[in-house]
Amino acid sequence: MDFLNENLLTILILLPVIGAVLTLAHQMFWKQESQLKWLTLGFTTLNFLVSLALFSKSAVAGPSGYFFEKNVPWIKAIGTNYHIGVDGLSFWLVILTTFIMPIAVLSTWHAVEKKRTAFYIFLLLLESAMIGVFVSLDLLVFYLFFEASLVPMFFLIGIWGGDNRIYAAVKFFIFTAFGSLLMLVAIIALFFLYADSRRIICRHF
């Protein structure tokens, strides 16, 4: 149970990625596009069922006050950890994401006629990135998941969007690229401000 509590969020992030890899492998070796939607529906449904474990009464808040918390060193040079967890808000955002994704697959059951493999892969990768965004407790981890969510969104809009999909995709890219650049600058500024303040405190003590 401790293993599940500590790694549940990581499992929720990785399951759609595994589904995307298997979807690609299925298309490469069996070339049966008609089964891709069933494979995608199966993985999104499985992820939703796994996410119901978040309701477990045995979950205990971690040292930072978050549930299902996992905090392991990642990039020690800049003090970045793979730190994830959920609170009262992100809990429901994760549940909502895993609940909506099977509905999204069903809603496009007969609508997607071209490049089905790419569509379902992008859909699964988007789910993984969105869950990562909602559970991230480290600023750099959040930024990377946020950036990862923009890539499948760009292609989903640009390839399977409406009549003005190219215009919408370009506009989406410009706005998100500008916002992401500002966010990156803010993260770098916070890192140096935090590093300077820590050095000042160390000199005093």
Which tokens go with 12?
A: 């929720």
Residue 99's CB: how many other CB atoms inside 10 A? Answer: 15
**pLDDT tens for each residue of 40-73:** 999 999 999 999 999 987 777 777 788 898 989 8
* Percent of the chain whose pLDDT exceeds 70: 91
From CA 18, how far away is CA 40, in angstroms rounded?
A: 11
Please tell me the pTM assigned to this model: 0.86
Q: What is the pLDDT of residue 205?
A: 39
- pLDDT band at 196, cuts 50/70/90? low
Residues 6+ apart with CB under 8 A from 155: 118, 122, 169
Q: What is the pLDDT of residue 160?
A: 86
Chain mean position to CA 41: 18
Q: What is the pLDDT of residue 79?
A: 78
Q: What is the pLDDT of residue 27?
A: 78
Query: Three-class SS of residue 160?
Result: helix
Q: What is the pLDDT of residue 64?
A: 76
**pLDDT tens for each residue of 114-167:** 888 889 999 999 999 999 999 999 888 999 999 999 999 999 998 888 788 888
Instruction: Identify residue 141 by its one-letter amino acid code.
Output: V
From CA 196, how far away is CA 114, in angstroms rounded?
A: 53
From CA 36, how far away is CA 16, in angstroms rounded?
A: 14
